[in-house]
Structure 1
Amino acid sequence: MYALHGKVAVVTGAGSGIGRALARAFAHKGCRLALADIDGRSLSETAAMLPVPAFTQTLDVADRAAVFAFADAVKREYGTAHVVVNNAGVALSQTLERLDYEDFEWLMNINFWGVVHGTKAFLPLLRAQNDGVIVNLSSIFGIITVPTQGAYHAAKFAVRGYTETLRQELEGSGVFAVCVHPGGVRTNIARHARHYVDSMGNTDPARAAAQFERLARTSPDQAAREIVAAIERRKARVLIGADARLLDWIQRLFPTSYPRILRAMLRRMRT
C-alpha cells in the first residue's frame, strides 16, 4: 500500500470535475495540496471547498515554461511533491477530414503535451527522493475509437503509450506510474468542447453536451475515489466506470468489429 497521509499531491485541471473531486479526496486523506487550473475563478472555488489550505496557481498546461515554473513554485512551497496527477483536458468533435490544424494543435497541446510537461517538470523531484506517483489521465477513448473523435483519440492513445512506457522505465525504483481510463464521467468537458459535428451528424453543441451528460453514469467523486484507491494499491491501469470496463472487454473480444457493436449499443441507448 502507498500511504498518502502527509504527502504533497499535485493536481492539474483542479477547477472542476475529476480534478476538483481529487482535491477533496486527497485532502481527506491528509495530503498537502498544490492545485492548478487555467480558470483562476474556478480554482479559487475549489480551494474554498477544501477542509485544509491549498497552494493554488493559475496554469495553462500547454505552456511548458509555465508548468516548469509551477513545479518550482511547489518545491518552494512544500520542499517537494509526491503524487502528480496530470488531469487537465479538453474535448473536440470533428471529422478528421475537416479538422483544421489549429484545433488539432489546441487539443494536443493540452491533452498530450500537458501530460508530458507535467511529467517532465515533476519527475526529477520524485526521482531524487525515490518516492512518488505520476498519474496520467487517458480515457476509454485511449482504448476504443469512434467517428469524429480522432484528435481526442490521438491524444489519449498517446498518453496511454507514454505512461505505459514510463511505468516500465521506472521499474525497480520507488516511483511508479498510473494510467487512468475514465468512461463517461459527469463533468463539464462536453460543455466546454469545440464541437463541430458528432458521429450522428449533430452540429448543435448544447444538444451534444446534453446527450453526453445523459449517457455519463459516473460521478466525479466516484472517479476520484477509484483513482485514489488505485494509487494506494499501486495499480498500473485503472478503468473508471462500468461503461469503461465493458467497452474494454468488447474491444478485447472483438478488436476489429467492435465499432459495429458500439453503433448498435448507442442506437438502443438513444431510443
Structure 2
Amino acid sequence: MSKIIFITGASRGFGKIWAKALLKRGDKVVATARNTDSLNDLVAEFGDAILPLQLDVTNRAASFAAVAKAKEHFGRIDVLINNAGFGLFGAIEETTEEQARQQMETNFFGLLWVTQAIVPVMREQQSGHIIQVSSILGLVTLPVLGLYNASKYAVNGLTETLATEVKDFGINVSLIEPNGFSTDWSGASAVQTEAIEAYAPVKKAFFEAATPDSWGNPEATADAVLQLIDSQNPPLHFLLGKVAYPFITSVYADRIAQFDEWKEVGAAAHGH
C-alpha cells in the first residue's frame, strides 16, 4: 500500500533525492520548498503523485496551512520527513545575532512548527511516523559549527521528548543523524561568518581533517531511508553513513570514562 509522505526542504539534496525515490516506488509525496520551481522536473515525471507546496518553515501559520492543504488533498499523512535546514560555518565569537537567530529559526523552530502541525493529523489517524533530519552533530560537536551543533542538539532533545509523548497515539518517531555528505549543506546553501584571524588555525585543522572518504554519497542514502520508513519498529536514533557509528561510539566512550572519573565527587554533592 502506497504511503503519503510530507517532506520539507525538497528542492535539493537529501529532500529531493528521497522524494524521487519514494515517487519511483509508488508513494505519494507532498514536497515543500521555498521555491517550487525546483520541483518542476518531479511534477513532469510523476504528475499527480506529487503535490508541490511553497513553504518557508520559519512561518508557523504557513506551516500549519501547508499541512492542512496536504491532508485535504491526499486525505491523510503517513510520514513526515522534516528535512529543511542549512549549515552556518564560523566560530561562535564570529557569529552575528542575525545569523544565530536565523540558524535556530530554520533548523529548530521551523522543524518544531511543522511537527506541531503534523501531530494532530497523526493523532487523529492513530498512526504515523515522524522523521526528523538531525545530524551526528546533535550527539557530538565539531568546532566551526557551534550554532549548527546547538540547533541539532535542540532538535534531538525535542524529538526524544516527542517520542515519549506520542507513542500511545500509534506515532513512531525517528532521528536521522547523518555524518557528512556531499550535498549543498556545506556548499551553496551554507552561510559563512565574517572571519576573525585568531580562529584561522582552528578552521585550518577542521577543514584539513576531512578526507574525500569522509563524505558520503547522498544518492546512496535512498534505500536506507526507504527501509526506515517501512520498518514496523523504527529506531529513535538512526546513524547514516559509515563514519557516524565509529565517531559517535568513540566520543561516548570518552564521555563515560569522564563521568566515571568524577562520579564520586558528583555523588557527594547530593548531600545525603
- Name the TM-score, length of structure 1 as normaliser: 0.84
| Aligned ranges 1:172-183 → 2 under 5 Å | 172-183=168-179
* 1:195, distance to aligned residue in structure 2 (A): 1.4
Consecutive unaligned residues in structure 1, runs of 5 or more: 259-271
| Aligned ranges 1:85-124 → 2 under 5 Å | 85-124=81-120
Aligned equivalent of 2:190: 193
SS state at 1:176 partner: strand
The question of whether the paired residues in 1 share the 8 Å contact of 2:42 and 2:50 is answered with no
Q: AA paired with 1:94?
A: G
The farther-off stretch of 151-160 and 225-234 is 225-234
Partner Cα distance (1:124, 1:44) in 2? 30
The question of whether the paired residues in 2 share the 8 Å contact of 1:148 and 1:199 is answered with no
Percent identical among aligned pairs is: 28
The question of whether the paired residues in 2 share the 8 Å contact of 1:27 and 1:51 is answered with no
The question of whether the paired residues in 2 share the 8 Å contact of 1:227 and 1:238 is answered with no
Alignment CA distance shift 1:162-1:73 (3 Å)? same
Aligned equivalent of 1:239: 239
Which of 18, 28, 34 aligns to 1:32? It is 28
Deviations 1:182-235 (A, max 9, x none): 1111111111211135875559xxxx7x99794553222322321221222222
Aligned equivalent of 1:224: 222
| Aligned ranges 1:7-26 → 2 under 5 Å | 7-26=3-22
| Aligned ranges 1:53-202 → 2 under 5 Å | 53-191=49-187, 192-196=189-193, 197=195, 200=201
- Name the TM-score, length of structure 2 as normaliser: 0.83
* 1:249, distance to aligned residue in structure 2 (A): 1.0
The question of whether the paired residues in 2 share the 8 Å contact of 1:61 and 1:114 is answered with yes
Partner Cα distance (1:216, 1:17) in 2? 17
Superposition CA RMSD, Å: 2.5
Q: Count the aligned residue pairs.
A: 249
Q: AA paired with 2:183?
A: T
SS state at 1:125 partner: helix
Q: Which structure has more helix as a fraction of its residues?
A: 2
Alignment CA distance shift 1:20-1:142 (3 Å)? same
Partner Cα distance (2:74, 2:134) in 1? 28
SS state at 2:58 partner: coil
The question of whether the paired residues in 2 share the 8 Å contact of 1:178 and 1:231 is answered with no
* 1:95, distance to aligned residue in structure 2 (A): 1.3
Consecutive unaligned residues in structure 2, runs of 5 or more: 259-272
SS state at 2:174 partner: strand
SS state at 1:242 partner: coil
* 1:118, distance to aligned residue in structure 2 (A): 1.0
The question of whether the paired residues in 1 share the 8 Å contact of 2:79 and 2:128 is answered with yes
Alignment CA distance shift 1:246-1:195 (3 Å)? same
Q: AA paired with 2:218?
A: P
Alignment CA distance shift 1:216-1:61 (3 Å)? farther
Structure index of larger Rg: 2
* 1:8, distance to aligned residue in structure 2 (A): 0.8
The farther-off stretch of 52-61 and 120-129 is 52-61
